[in-house]
């Protein structure tokens, strides 16, 4: 047992009263760490394209090359996520298998973020090469931190209710961090630009500031959390076994595929947000107001999740959230410039998306025990590597959708709404609203028909694991 392992949790049951202080410590220690992480992630996934088009003012040819780089590297990095999961699962250290990678990845991630928003004064092919190198550093560091960070979730508790509590706090903190960037990036960079005399310098200072915040909150996680499940040291998983661990976990594959479709549409919508208010609505100042409302909405959604989950099954919650989200998209598509309708649509989308985002984490966490039950091996990080895989794959697909849409609709070369024709507006709206609705519909069908790891099935899996552990003398 490593120093980081702490006391072992009762398998499948509620935490013992003596463990409750540790449960609270894990819940808040893990959750607070997501605040800074999602600030950095939001700036790059949602605003890197804005920085490239509106601050650096890339040409169409350079933007097309950068879009290809983003798609290729995000797909490449996503495919490497399971390999990083294997490395983490096979790590043995006095600090446990997760924390060394969390710490090292966070430091490198902060450096990569600063590099991405540094203006090297390059153009054309030279810029694309430099951008590729900087983005590769960012992506690798993100992978190292993300796989080890979320891989720790199943090791903090095996109790579904406690996992939901950890997930709610984590998503609350993550959304606070994300929407702090979404709401603050435009007014803060405008103030910094006035003080520094340069938009590029303003964006760099902002990127460095949120990177420092990320490191501070990651330190809280490193100090506060203690592993409670899986304190044994099984034989290392060989590279040749890696994809078998994933491919034979059918529940993990189905939920990952379904959530990829949903998150591709949602991520594209988020990437289009500032462009929508600038070029379609005609007032970019409304973006910060709209984002603030949606931030409060998502937090309200996360806070209400335990109440709804107490009344409905996870499958029913998923169906409800998918329906509300789809209705929100359809309403948004036909809202025009009616700010009230836009607001109602945005609230519906983001309230429901908060539920689905949390369900993604819970579904994948439960697949750890399912994989252990089916394959006889507990691989937290390999299994949870499918969560960042789906986010990165969705981000890659969304980047392609956003970049191509900006070029084909004419937005990249437009100075304002008057420069767009009706065809360009229609294409933009279909990419922002139509694509997500299609993704929601297909993902709902996949979860309903193929994901069978409901509460009763999971309880049976954990009960069987308990019996196996007792039979093996693993108390």
Pick the closest to residue 71 from 150, 132, 134 (CA basis): 132
Structural contact between residues 229 and 158, judged by C-beta atoms closer than 8 angstroms: yes
pLDDT in tens, 72-114: 888 887 778 888 888 888 888 788 888 999 999 999 999 999 9
Q: Does 7 fall in a domain?
A: no
pLDDT in tens, 347-393: 999 999 989 988 988 898 888 889 889 888 777 777 777 777 888 78
pLDDT for residue 407 is more than 80: yes
How much of the chain exceeds pLDDT 90, in percent?
44
208 with 302, same domain: the answer is no
Q: In a 3-state reduction of DSSP, which class is residue 344?
A: helix
- Distance separating alpha carbons of residues 226 and 371, to the nearest angstrom: 23
Last residue within a domain, chosen from 233, 267, 282: 233
152 with 40, same domain: the answer is yes
CATH number at residue 255: 1.20.1250.20
158: domain range? 21-233
Q: Does 3 fall in a domain?
A: no
243 with 196, same domain: the answer is no
209 with 281, same domain: the answer is no
pTM over 0.85: no
- Distance separating alpha carbons of residues 231 and 233, to the nearest angstrom: 7
429 versus 388: the higher-pLDDT residue is: 429
176 with 270, same domain: the answer is no
How many domains does the structure of the chain reveal? 2
224 with 241, same domain: the answer is no
Kindly report which listed range (41-50, 199-208, 290-299) carries the lowest average pLDDT score: 290-299
Last residue within a domain, chosen from 196, 212, 233: 233
pLDDT in tens, 440-466: 999 999 999 999 998 899 889 989 988
Q: Does 39 fall in a domain?
A: yes
247 with 119, same domain: the answer is no
pLDDT in tens, 233-264: 556 666 666 677 788 899 999 999 999 999 99
- How large is the average pLDDT for residues 124-146? 93
How much of the chain exceeds pLDDT 70, in percent?
92
Last residue within a domain, chosen from 176, 209, 233: 233
228 with 243, same domain: the answer is no
pLDDT band for position 69 (cuts 50, 70, 90) = very high
Q: In a 3-state reduction of DSSP, which class is residue 377?
A: coil
350 with 446, same domain: the answer is yes
């Amino acid at each position: 047992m490593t120093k980081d392992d702490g006391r072992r949790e009762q398998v499948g049951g509620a935490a013992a009263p003596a463990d409750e202080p540790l449960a609270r410590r894990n819940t808040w220690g893990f959750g607070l760490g997501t605040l800074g992480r999602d600030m950095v992630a939001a700036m790059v996934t949602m605003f890197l394209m804005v920085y490239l088009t509106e601050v650096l003012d890339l040409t169409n040819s350079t933007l097309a090359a950068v879009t290809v780089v983003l798609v290729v590297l995000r797909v490449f990095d996503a495919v490497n996520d399971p390999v990083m999961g294997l490395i983490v699962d096979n790590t043995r250290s006095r600090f446990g298998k997760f924390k060394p990678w969390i710490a090292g990845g966070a430091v490198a991630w902060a450096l990569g973020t600063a590099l991405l928003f540094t203006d090297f004064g390059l153009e054309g092919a030279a810029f694309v090469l430099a951008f590729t190198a900087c983005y590769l550093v960012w992506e690798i560091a993100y992978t190292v931190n993300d796989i080890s960070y979320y891989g720790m979730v199943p090791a903090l508790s095996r109790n579904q209710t406690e996992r939901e509590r950890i997930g709610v706090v984590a998503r609350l903190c993550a959304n606070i961090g994300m929407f702090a960037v979404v709401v603050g990036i435009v007014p803060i960079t405008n103030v910094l630009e006035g003080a520094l005399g340069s938009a590029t310098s303003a964006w760099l200072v902002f990127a460095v500031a949120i990177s420092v915040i990320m490191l501070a909150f990651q330190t809280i996680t490193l100090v506060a959390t203690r592993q409670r499940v899986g304190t044994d040291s099984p034989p290392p998983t060989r590279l040749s076994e890696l994809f078998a661990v994933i491919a034979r976990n059918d529940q993990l594959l189905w939920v990952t595929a379904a959530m990829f479709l949903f998150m591709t549409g949602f991520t594209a919508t988020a990437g289009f947000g500032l462009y929508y208010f600038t070029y379609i609505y005609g007032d970019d100042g409304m973006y910060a107001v709209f984002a603030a409302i949606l931030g409060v909405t998502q937090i309200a959604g996360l806070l209400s999740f335990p109440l709804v989950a107490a009344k409905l099954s996870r499958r029913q919650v998923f169906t409800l959230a998918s329906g509300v989200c789809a209705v929100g998209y359809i309403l948004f598509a036909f809202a025009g410039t009616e700010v009230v309708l836009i607001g109602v649509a945005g609230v519906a989308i983001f309230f429901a998306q908060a539920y689905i985002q949390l369900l993604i984490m819970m579904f994948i966490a439960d697949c750890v025990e399912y994989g252990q039950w089916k394959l006889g091996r507990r691989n937290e990080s390999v299994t949870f590597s499918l969560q960042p895989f789906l986010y990165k794959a969705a981000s890659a697909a969304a980047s392609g959708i956003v970049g191509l849409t900006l070029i084909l609709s004419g937005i990249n070369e437009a100075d304002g709404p008057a420069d767009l024709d009706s065809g360009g507006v229609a294409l933009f709206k279909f990419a922002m609203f139509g694509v997500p609705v299609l993704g929601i519909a297909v993902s709902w069908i996949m979860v309903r028909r193929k994901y069978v790891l409901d509460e009763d099935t999971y309880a049976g899996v954990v009960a069987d694991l308990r019996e196996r552990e007792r039979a093996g003398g693993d108390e």
